[in-house]
């Protein structure tokens, strides 16, 4: 049970990291040449997605932390 929760937390962290990397590529791709201006429309959605994914990553990390803490407490009780 705890292992499944731990795996889900890790999977959430990995998925959000991939999404943040994709958004970073989109932002970097919006920079065309120094002479061209970047419009807010070019980068607004990737920036918003990065912020959302940051929250998803943080929440998933808390899930991992809680599972680790629970596992540690169970091991202490068993010992």
Give tens-digit pLDDT for 17-28: 999 999 999 988
Give pLDDT tens digits along the chain (79 positions): 778 999 999 999 999 999 999 999 998 887 766 666 666 667 889 999 999 999 999 999 999 999 999 988 888 887 7
User: Is the residue at 20 inside a domain?
Assistant: yes
Q: Is 72 exposed, middle or buried (0-12, 13-18, 19+ CB in 10 A)?
A: exposed
Range of the domain at 25: 16-30+39-54
Alpha-carbon span 42 to 31, nearest angstrom: 9
User: Is the residue at 79 inside a domain?
Assistant: no
Closest residue by Cα to residue 25 from 17, 34, 36:
17
Q: Give 36's DSSP letter.
A: S
Total domains, the chain: 1
Please count the other Cβ atoms lying within 10 Å of the Cβ belonging to residue 53.
19
User: Is the residue at 24 inside a domain?
Assistant: yes
User: Is the residue at 45 inside a domain?
Assistant: yes
């Amino acid at each position: 049970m705890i292992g499944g929760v731990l795996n889900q937390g890790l999977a959430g962290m990995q998925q959000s990291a991939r999404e943040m990397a994709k958004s970073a590529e989109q932002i970097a791709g919006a920079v065309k040449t120094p002479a061209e201006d970047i419009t807010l429309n070019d980068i607004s959605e990737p920036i918003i997605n990065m912020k959302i994914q940051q929250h998803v990553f943080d929440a998933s990390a808390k899930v991992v932390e809680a599972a680790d803490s629970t596992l540690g407490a169970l091991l202490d009780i068993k010992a």
